[in-house]
Amino acid sequence: MKLNQQLNLKEVLLAALKSKLSASDYCALMLYEHWESICGKDISKKTRPKALYKNVLTVSVENPVLIFELGFIKEEFIKKINDFFSSEDKKIALDKSITVKDIRFINK
């Protein structure tokens, strides 16, 4: 029962934040919340989305070597993120006009 109460509180808080945040800030929050399902367990342990501004997502990365490696799969990341935003099967109503056109990887 406590688990259900926690999930409901989480949904209430996210709904409240949606009305207070800009569309891009809310989408960045949703990326942060669902990051592991978007990029996978291994990469999510070493990276975190930080900001979404003017269709550019800033992602903090554990080390510079990983920044270099992620550069090779940046287009795949962009596709996965935009698929997440456009997905109809989730309960989260996101602004459909938000798309990621580029990713900027930064060292933590």
- Is residue 5 one of the residues assigned to a domain? no
* Average confidence (pLDDT) over 29-36: 90
CATH number reported for the structural domain that contains residue 73 in this entry = 3.30.300.180
Within 10 angstroms of residue 47's Cβ, the number of other Cβ atoms is 20
What domain count does the chain have? 1
Q: pLDDT tens, 5-26?
A: 555 776 777 677 777 777 778 8
Q: pLDDT tens, 43-69?
A: 999 999 999 999 999 999 999 999 999
- Is residue 15 one of the residues assigned to a domain? no
The reported pLDDT for the residue numbered 27 is 82
Q: In the structure encoding, which two tokens stand for residue 86, read together?
A: 């456009």
3-class DSSP assignment, residue 27: helix
Q: Which amino acid is at 24?
A: S
Residue ranges making up the domain that contains 31 = 22-107
